[in-house]
Amino acid sequence: MVLHIPFDNTYARLGSGFYTNQSPALVASPQLIAFNQTLAELLQVAGGDVLEMAQVFAGNQIPEGAAPLAQAYAGHQFGNFNPQLGDGRAILLGEVLGTDSRRYDIQLKGAGPTQYSRQGDGRAWLGPVLREYVVSEAMHALGIPTTRALAAVSTGETVWREGGLPGAVLTRVASSHLRVGSFQYFAARGETEALKKLTAYAIKRHYPQAQGPLGLLRAVRDAQARLIAAWMSVGFIHGVMNTDNCSISGETIDYGPCAFMDHYRAEQVFSSIDRMGRYAYANQPGIVVWNLAQLATALIQQLDNPQEAVEEATAIIHAMPSLIEVEWLRLFRRKIGLETLASGDLELISDLLQLMADENADFTNTFRALAEGNATDQFQDPKAFEPWQARWMRRRASEQNAEALMRASNPVYIPRNHRIEEMIAAAVAGDFTLFERLSAVYQDPFAEQAGAEDLRRPPEVDEVVRATFCGT
Ligand code: AMP
Ligand code: MG
């Protein structure tokens, strides 16, 4: 039986200004590393043996109904506007309707050069492909909106970075690949008709209740506010929150130099290219507001009288910090077992985080230990925790469900950097057992799993990963 993907493409119908048709490059000898059967079922992708899947997900064989293309977009990178980015190493095969009646993009990342590749080679190497596969699926299991991974293949080709590395392709699934930068692209070119068309398309696809460009702005703002609060609640640092990596659907997209924190540090940065710390952990809520302001600037250019809309757009953006804070507080309350609201909660949570920073405490393990009743062990000086613990106990007294709430909100397992790096090193040497093990454990992050105790452990001094590199 041949591999069947029930394509139903809509983006391709927007017309030529929105993309360029582009077939993936042929690669030497594709081999299937991973195929996400559960996700395949959701997408109604069926049939096909391992050999055929390797051909299709490497881009060597174009499945029936696909309309391969590279999307055009712009974006602010580290604050500087680039009027033309676009899919330089990704090719959209098309869209499918899932069994949940939602629409999904199926995209090959690392599938060869496109019109937007600039100096890049259009390729990906195995490391970033496996990182994105594992971390995006872990994120999904944590209940956080994200693009997903359907397949990973090795290409049998060498990709040149600092040296030669094994080439690979990731099949990425997203609610769409529309970004803030997609709108900036047309706004910067003064292409008002295209901007209107894209706005109508995004509303229909993602927010059918939204009214007009400002309705879309409000909907994206709300989705992004929830997303960033969710990242904060698991200690996730995206690393490259450029406007081209800020999705309209409100999903986490582009797992480049991303990382989860081990010990808590508000100013933590991992990305080797983020020298100023623009995208540090604690800066993320501020940066997403900045990104949404760029979306506002782009969207209002399609209005007959943009000046009149400035006031309303400004109000929409100005409301965003408090939306993030409300959601942040809701999520962190749950992390310390509180379902009800009380004044002083913000201070209680902030004081715990400060204590964690002062005492070099592990973010994930400390919160989980609150549920397990042994948090004292997480602090260098257990005495330092006691006053806070006493305050917390008093506050908790009226809560019915604290322990269950904490167990459901505080993961046992997150994809720790040193494990991801260990997994990549092993895979480059041809051993995928850790990749498979991590993929399996992270699928159920809130449950303690026998035999996985080592994956709870923060890195030893010599295991600490200080920088992650952009996933090119
Ligand atoms: P990213 O940092 O992954 O969000 O990528 C930013 C831009 O650089 C996008 O337009 C990518 O398509 C492009 N890009 C990144 N890596 C490559 C590559 N190896 N070849 C071509 N284009 C790339
Ligand atoms: Mg990107």
Helix ranges restricted to H, 258-305: 284-299
CA distances in angstroms from 371 to 16, 83, 228, 335, listed in the order given: 54, 48, 24, 9
| Domain edge (last residue) among 119, 151, 174 | 174
- 233 in any annotated domain: no
- 145 in any annotated domain: yes
| Domain edge (last residue) among 141, 158, 174 | 174
Count of domains in the chain?
2
CA distance 366 to 363: 5
- 360 in any annotated domain: yes
Q: What is the CA radius of gyration of the chain?
A: 22
Question: What residues make up the domain containing 135?
Answer: 11-174
Number of other residues whose CB lies within 10 A of the CB of residue 390: 10
The pLDDT value given to residue 306 = 86
pTM score, whole prediction:
0.98
For residue range 453-463, what is the model confidence (pLDDT) as tens digits? 999 999 998 99
The whole-angstrom distance between residue 374's C-alpha and the CA centroid of its chain comes to 31
CA distance 316 to 308: 14
- 442 in any annotated domain: no
Q: How confident is the model at residue 162 (pLDDT cuts 50, 70, 90)?
A: confident
Q: Is the CB of 472 under 6 A from ligand 1?
A: yes
**Residues 162, 38 contacting (CB under 8 angstroms):** no
| Domain edge (last residue) among 174, 189, 224 | 174
The pLDDT value given to residue 471 = 55
**Residues 470, 271 contacting (CB under 8 angstroms):** yes
**Which residue has the least CA distance to atom 11 on ligand 1?**
88
- 135 in any annotated domain: yes
The whole-angstrom distance between residue 11's C-alpha and the CA centroid of its chain comes to 22
**Residues 291, 274 contacting (CB under 8 angstroms):** no
| Whether residue 185 has pLDDT greater than 90 | yes
- 248 in any annotated domain: no
Q: Is the CB of 274 under 6 A from ligand 1?
A: no
Q: To test the ligand 1 pocket, which listed residue (85, 121, 278, 279) has its Cβ within 8 A of the most ligand atoms? A: 85
CA distance 416 to 138: 11
Which amino acids are annotated catalytic? 244
Q: Is the CB of 144 under 6 A from ligand 1?
A: no
Q: How confident is the model at residue 470 (pLDDT cuts 50, 70, 90)?
A: low
- 46 in any annotated domain: yes
Please choose, from the candidates 331, 324, 326, 301, the residue with its C-alpha nearest in 3D space to the C-alpha of residue 313.
Answer: 301
| Whether residue 25 has pLDDT greater than 80 | yes
Please choose, from the candidates 149, 134, 3, the residue with its C-alpha nearest in 3D space to the C-alpha of residue 65.
Answer: 3
**Which residue has the least CA distance to atom 6 on ligand 1?**
85
Q: How confident is the model at residue 468 (pLDDT cuts 50, 70, 90)?
A: confident
Which stretch of DSSP H or E encloses residue 131? helix 126-141
Q: Is the CB of 240 under 6 A from ligand 1?
A: yes
Q: Which letter does DSSP use for residue 114 in this model? A: -
The pLDDT value given to residue 418 = 97
| Whether residue 469 has pLDDT greater than 90 | no
Q: Range with the lowest mean pLDDT among 67-81, 206-220, 263-277?
A: 263-277
CA distance 89 to 414: 28
Which residue bears the tokens 């035999």? Answer: 451
Q: How far away, in angstroms, is 447 Cα from ligand 1 center?
A: 36
- 92 in any annotated domain: yes
